[in-house]
């Protein structure tokens, strides 16, 4: 069951490759402190919908989200920080979307948004979701009920802000 609205985002450490190419350890508590941000999750880097639609929707709409008071956008998926950096580079996310590597699926599990795709030989993944996080508190959380990004894409997110 997903984390409830008005709960704090769980404190989880993760590795991230910064703009200088250095690996740093960050904590979700720090990343989401004192800011209103979008956190969206998806099943996997370079997978068709995630790569061609979901992340690009947030890159394309980053300025509109900022105009509505969003101070940052974070994309998370289960995978390592090198994969997420390569994916960010391939999509040209720049400073529009921070790519968070949930290496062990710890944040995914604590948020309650894991999905078992072992039948498809993909293991445990992050279910497609989007949350508004305000100073570390979950203000809203939407989980995609089917395939696609009708609920969790940037366009749908903008309508709800």
Which residues form the catalytic set? 50
| Cα–Cα distance for residue pair 41/23, rounded to 1 Å | 21
Q: Which helix (H) or strand (E) holds 109?
A: helix 106-111
Residue 125: is it exposed, middle or buried by C-beta count within 10 angstroms (0-12/13-18/19+)? buried
Instruction: Report helix, strand or coil for 15.
Output: strand
* CA–CA separation, 122 and 161 (whole Å): 33
């Amino acid at each position: 069951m997903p984390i409830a609205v008005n709960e704090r985002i769980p404190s989880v450490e993760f590795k991230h490759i910064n703009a200088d190419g250095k690996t740093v350890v960050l904590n979700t508590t720090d990343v989401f402190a004192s800011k209103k941000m979008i956190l969206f999750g998806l099943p996997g880097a370079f997978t068709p919908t995630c790569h061609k639609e979901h992340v690009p929707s947030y890159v394309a709409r980053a300025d509109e989200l900022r105009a509505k008071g969003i101070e940052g956008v974070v994309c998370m998926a289960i995978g390592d920080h090198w994969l997420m950096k390569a994916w960010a580079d391939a999509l040209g996310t720049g400073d529009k979307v921070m790519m968070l590597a949930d290496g062990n699926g710890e944040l995914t599990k604590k948020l309650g948004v894991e999905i078992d795709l072992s039948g498809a030989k993909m293991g445990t993944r992050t279910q497609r979701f989007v949350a508004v996080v305000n100073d570390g508190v979950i203000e809203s959380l939407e989980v995609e009920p089917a395939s696609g990004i009708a609920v969790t894409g940037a366009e749908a997110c903008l309508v709800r802000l």
